Structure 1
Amino acid sequence: MDIWSHGKMSGYFLNLYRVELPHLFRELGVREEESPSSFIHLLKTKMEVRLMEKTLAEKDEAFRQRMKVIVERWRALHAKRAQLKDHVQKSGKIIKENEEVRILALKIDSKEREENMQKESELLKAKMKLEALRKEHLKLCKKVQKYSVFKKYLEDVVKISQFEDIVEVASRYALLVRTHKDLLQSQQGHKELTEQDKVLLEQYRAEKEAEMLQYKSKLAQLKLRFDQAQTDIRLWETCWTDIQNRTSKKTKKLWSIKLAIHDLFQSTNMRLNADCKVSVDDSLKQLDMIKQFIQYLKDIHLCGGQEEAPVSSYTDEAKGGLTCPDNEVSVGWEGKEENPTDIVD
């Protein structure tokens, strides 16, 4: 519909006039140069053009009329479509309302049926109960007739006993029955308690037996550990004895070494006529003094070619060359520190 609107149609025809007609005129201009009767031909052509424009105008008017008819039909179609849509919506609402009414009616009907069935069931139960009560009434009537003999018997009992009337006899009997029932219940309760106590006693006995077995197992394990400990004690006692013996031997050896060092130190002092104040127990300092003396003798020996001087001639040199160690660490022949434990070993 929008494609064939009035504006677009006018544009189409204007384009036709502006593009096609000049081209036609140009062709006609060429022919005019070639033909002597071009003016007449041009007039004919103009007449044909006017005729063609008139034909096109008539066709345009017919086309417009057809388009108007189509537009009217299209609008009518849209109106009918809207009416149909509205009608469908209204019909859907009506159908929905009818469906809701139908469902509500079905629910009400179902509820009424359930209520009726319930009332019928209650009525049937009431009839059955009434029938049972009638039967019970007949039974009681028969029992009254059957036990009417006892009434006279109870009246005779009241006359010869301390009771005043039959009701008191019945109440006394009911009391005795209730007391007997209470005694039976108490006896049953004591019996149940006794059974429960037996069960609990068996459980307690089983638990204690299990604990005893655990304790016996632990005791056996402890005995094994005790035996192992005694074996280990004997082994460690033996090791301790060996250690004490070795310690005693090493102690004796150490004292022998100390005595030997002290003797060497005294000999060195006597040889050098020196009086170094060194503690008797300080074996390291004494040993250091001895090493210095031996080094001094080695130096003398290395000099070579000289006669050995008497002791009195080099004691002063020894005194000057040797120094009593104070708290310095003794150094060996090659300048290495000496470990006192190596000397002991």
Structure 2
Amino acid sequence: MPTRTLGRTGPTVSALGLGAMGMSGAYGATDRGEGIATVRAALDAGVTLIDTGDFYAMGHNELLLAEALRGRDRDSYLLSVKFGMLRGPGSEFGGPDGRPEAVKNFLAYSLTRLGTDHIDLYRPARLDPAVPIEDTVGAIKEMVDAGHVRYVGLSEVDAATVRRAHAVHPIADLQIEYSLIRRTAEAGVLPVLRELGVGLTAYGVLSRGLISGHWSAGRRTGPGDSRAAIPRFSSGNVEHNLALVEALRAVAEAKGCTVAQLAIAWVAAQGRDTSDVVPLVGARTRERLAEALPAAELALSADDLAAIEAAVPAGAARGDYYPSAATAGRGTRS
């Protein structure tokens, strides 16, 4: 597994990371045993970066990871944890909480659930509009100084917020949704990250399965699958978006890879000059993980990138990326 360094001050990680959210029911029913086996298979394959959030199924995901990681050398992997999203007993979102006292509270719970004495990368999941980012990052810095956190990250914030946070403590990376059909980071955020020496970890690289090559227009989502409420999966939009996938499939077949591998490799290739972009693969099963892993070493030529761009031009997808209510409730800044 190739490695990359997150920015100028961040850690060295595997060229692909594993996003664990889907193992805790975000996309419908899950198999806990298969999730644990997938985490272990990823580690065995050389994946060292594992991403979670303390609010994923109200701690379920952290507990699952604790079981999957039990017995592993703590220095053989890095845990990236998002915090700060308030949840209700019906799983509804109550908005972000970035107060300094809340940061330390959230961290204490995560350390306990994960069964570790430190978090490698700790980041607020969304910007709390009621709390200056300097205060939130300042609290994380205190936890770095105390040895409970190794590196500070951010998630889904704009370039100006990155600058303000970076002035308080070096930011290792910004986590943001970035894929062939969501490229908002390119115009304003990526140039600032490179100016400051901040890495980018990209989630949603397969757009929640939409551009994986395995989705179909008539597919029904099961209970608890959040994609049922996402406009890009809705009738009228999904057919258009899947036509883009078919154009991408032709490029993948010519390259001798799968659609998913090509889409993941495209994201990784956006850091080709500086090696500062690390895709997070949200595999829930060993089968999907096995498909994704070869993307780490899939080299794309200039001709390949041009063919991909022709198949899926920037801005070609239809439908919003989140339900409007969720966007408002989560305090998204992207």
Pairwise same-fold verdict (TM > 0.5): no
Structure number having the greater helix percentage: 1
Higher relative contact order (CA closer than 8 Å, sequence separation 6+): 2
Superposition TM-score tier, normalisation by shorter sequence: under 0.3
Report the TM-score when normalising by structure 1: 0.16
Point out the structure with max Rg over C-alpha: 1
Report the TM-score when normalising by structure 2: 0.17
